[in-house]
Structure 1
Amino acid sequence: MRNSFRVHAALLFVALIYAANYSLSKDVMPRYMGPFGVVTLRILGAVLFFSIIKYFVAPQDRILGRADNLRSILCGICGIGVNQLLFFSGLNLTSPISASLLQTIAPIVVVIASAMLLSERITVPRVLGIAVGVAGAGSLVLSRNVQAAVYPQATLGNVFILANATVFGLYLVLVQPLMRKYHAFTVLSRIFLVGAVIAVPFGWREVFTANYASFPLYIWLEIGYMVVFLTILAYLLNNWALKYASPALLGVYIYLQPVLAVLIAVGLGKDHLTWGKAGQAVLIFLGVWLVSQKPKPVPAPEVPLMPVQD
């Protein structure tokens, strides 16, 4: 019972960390720092942290072989570099609620990528879920709402967030074999290093040209939040909880994150929930729920008994 409480507490805290980021990031971007600068600070902080921890907890662990090294590079490109550049670029242009809802389609991408790369079966409910989820996401991406004056480039931002969720879903499929074979910090230190190689050329100028003297205390705290809580603490808690949480429990918190993001955004006055967005959210949630249903195992064919030969 005590461990169950800890798992729920960890998953809830992770959901809160991710949900709050949609609104807090809007304070930083673009007034104090551009999205690429935020990505660069976040990834460099993670590289430093995970490399130091890896040195102490798994000093002898190495990613070996050409195939695994290529996979780790691809994971760093998809899961860290391109993923973060797309996410913060999109969040900079669109509303917190739209971004949080579009992020929820990642499980749909995981199912499609698993079918293509791992030959997993796609059942009729999953096909229906993909169609419903894509319809909801497409409607949200193309919609124009009352905040068009606040976010004139919201459509482009929504496209970036949708692309972010797609590459992140692909990353989740690609990284599984590495996580099973190597220590988690070995994988993380490598993929964040690759991500830094991708992100730093885009963001170093924004990092060095930012007027840090004009940053009020709350902006420093929010940047620290994105580096420490969003990147490091969220992973550590999530990684621990995944060892004990059931798929059904993880599904609950997948749906909880955008709900919390909506409450935080509305509570802080960063966004407004409309009936249109609510309907799009229902379509996306329904699609994700359908694709999350595991297909029933196919019964093994009966082998006829062969007559015993003398």
Structure 2
Amino acid sequence: MNSSIKGHLSMLGANTLWGLMSPLSKFVMAAGVVTPLVVTDMRIAGAMVLFWIASFFQKPEHVPHGDLARLFGAALLGIVLNQGCFIFGVSLTTPGDASIITTSMPLWAMVLAAFILKEPITGKKVLGIAAGAAGALLLIMGSGNQVKATATTGGNYAIWGDLLVLSAQLCYALYIVLYKNFVNKYSLTTIMKWMFTYAFICTLPFSAGDLMRTNWAALQPSHIGALAFIVIGATFLSYMLIVVGQKLLRPTVAGMYNYVQPLVACIVAVLWGMDSFNWIKGVAVVLIFGGVYLVTASRSRKELDNYKAHENAQKS
């Protein structure tokens, strides 16, 4: 399989799984048995165990102390701060505001890639991000089940919540840009087992109280099944796919697949009878995938350098 196609399929798969996680997480937490912190800790702990088990079936890789420190930084940005800021942010603002703010991630990725990796900001890239954002916003704003703001999410609390959700997007964009080249150094299993181990160590002090207070016996089989999917599918499998996509695609292209999540959540809502499909959602789908195509078709730094070198060779 072509490496580019493999990268696109990996990012599509990962963000599809994350899109499915959103309604399933709401379903589990609506029962009032587990808190958002418990769900997050279960994701991190479960993925950590699964990645360590998977590592026993491959050739051991030695990771020097310097790279372990870099993996700690990756865990902070890609897992701890990303998930932590998002969870606490959503608790202070409305789900609708949080969903809208998440559309900023591809923009952060484009700007950071331009400054850090010297990736060019082309017209196609800007147009693609704008089209994808417009499509995602159409889906979010047109959703029939958005939660309205309440007294507990107003004023300064909502502002802080919005800033935290925005910080979560910035942290994830930093992760995919800063570690674009580093992830090629080791296998995805080695990278993920250390990242989730560090993430577990960092989050456990904050979630230990909730974990001990949870009435696990009150969970219904449907809740257990949903949690199993969240841990295995939306964390273990999705993070494996993310590393594959991160290795094979430019950061801005990888970030564009963030727009698939509201699309998947919308499809699930339609299938579950919580929403209906209309022409606005059809336009949103076209905008999202049209945006992904435009960003993918934009020239990379390497392509621009080759083009300039070819022009100079013709002139001389």
Task: Please indicate the TM-score interval, normalised by the length of the shorter structure.
Answer: 0.7 to 0.9
Q: Which residue of 1 aligns with 2:215?
A: 211
Q: Contact 1:136/1:284 (CA < 8 Å) preserved in 2?
A: yes
Amino acid at match of 2:299: K
Comparing 165-174 with 145-154, which one deviates more in the overlay?
145-154
Relative to structure 1, the CA distance from residue 5 to residue 297 in structure 2 (aligned partners, 3 Å threshold; closer, same or farther) is closer
Amino acid at match of 1:58: K
Q: Contact 1:28/1:222 (CA < 8 Å) preserved in 2?
A: yes
SS in 1 for 2:173: helix
Once superposed, what is the RMSD of the aligned Cα atoms?
Answer: 4.7
Q: Contact 1:35/1:85 (CA < 8 Å) preserved in 2?
A: no
Relative to structure 1, the CA distance from residue 276 to residue 87 in structure 2 (aligned partners, 3 Å threshold; closer, same or farther) is farther
Comparing 4-13 with 197-206, which one deviates more in the overlay?
4-13
Q: Contact 1:101/1:284 (CA < 8 Å) preserved in 2?
A: no
Relative to structure 1, the CA distance from residue 243 to residue 288 in structure 2 (aligned partners, 3 Å threshold; closer, same or farther) is closer
Q: Which residue of 1 aligns with 2:33?
A: 32
What displacement does 1:175 show? 2.2
Q: Contact 2:19/2:261 (CA < 8 Å) preserved in 1?
A: yes
What displacement does 1:302 show? 4.6
Give the fraction of aligned pairs with identical amino acids, expressed as a percent.
Answer: 30
Q: Which residue of 1 aligns with 2:180?
A: 176
Q: Contact 1:87/1:164 (CA < 8 Å) preserved in 2?
A: yes
**1:80-137 residue CA offsets vs partner (Å, 9 max, x unmatched):** 1111223344456643x76555444432222222222223333355567778888999
User: Which one has the largest radius of gyration?
Assistant: 1
Q: Which residue of 2 aligns with 1:231?
A: 235
Does structure 1 residue 294 correspond to structure 2 residue 299?
yes
Amino acid at match of 2:203: A
Q: Contact 2:269/2:275 (CA < 8 Å) preserved in 1?
A: yes
What displacement does 1:278 show? 10
Q: Contact 1:46/1:227 (CA < 8 Å) preserved in 2?
A: yes
Q: Contact 1:20/1:261 (CA < 8 Å) preserved in 2?
A: yes
Comparing 156-165 with 103-112, which one deviates more in the overlay?
156-165
Does structure 1 residue 50 correspond to structure 2 residue 51?
yes
What displacement does 1:178 show? 2.4
In 2: Cα distance, 1:271 partner to 1:90 partner: 25
What displacement does 1:260 show? 1.8
**1:201-225 residue CA offsets vs partner (Å, 9 max, x unmatched):** 1112111111112211111111111
Q: Contact 2:106/2:255 (CA < 8 Å) preserved in 1?
A: no
Relative to structure 1, the CA distance from residue 151 to residue 250 in structure 2 (aligned partners, 3 Å threshold; closer, same or farther) is farther
Relative to structure 1, the CA distance from residue 23 to residue 35 in structure 2 (aligned partners, 3 Å threshold; closer, same or farther) is same
In 1: Cα distance, 2:313 partner to 2:4 partner: 41
Relative to structure 1, the CA distance from residue 167 to residue 286 in structure 2 (aligned partners, 3 Å threshold; closer, same or farther) is farther
User: Number of aligned pairs?
Assistant: 298
Where does 1:103-182 land on structure 2 (aligned, <5 Å)? Answer: 103-124=102-123, 126=125, 147-148=147-148, 153=153, 155=158, 158-182=162-186
**1:255-284 residue CA offsets vs partner (Å, 9 max, x unmatched):** 443212112134436678999999999998
Q: Contact 1:266/1:273 (CA < 8 Å) preserved in 2?
A: yes
Amino acid at match of 1:186: T
What displacement does 1:69 show? 3.2
TM-score (norm 1): 0.73
Comparing 159-168 with 205-214, which one deviates more in the overlay?
159-168
What displacement does 1:161 show? 3.5
Relative to structure 1, the CA distance from residue 122 to residue 88 in structure 2 (aligned partners, 3 Å threshold; closer, same or farther) is same
Q: Contact 1:102/1:162 (CA < 8 Å) preserved in 2?
A: yes
What displacement does 1:75 show? 0.4
Amino acid at match of 1:111: M
Does structure 1 residue 76 correspond to structure 2 residue 83?
no
Structure 1 residues without counterparts, runs of 5 or longer = 306-310
In 1: Cα distance, 2:281 partner to 2:252 partner: 25
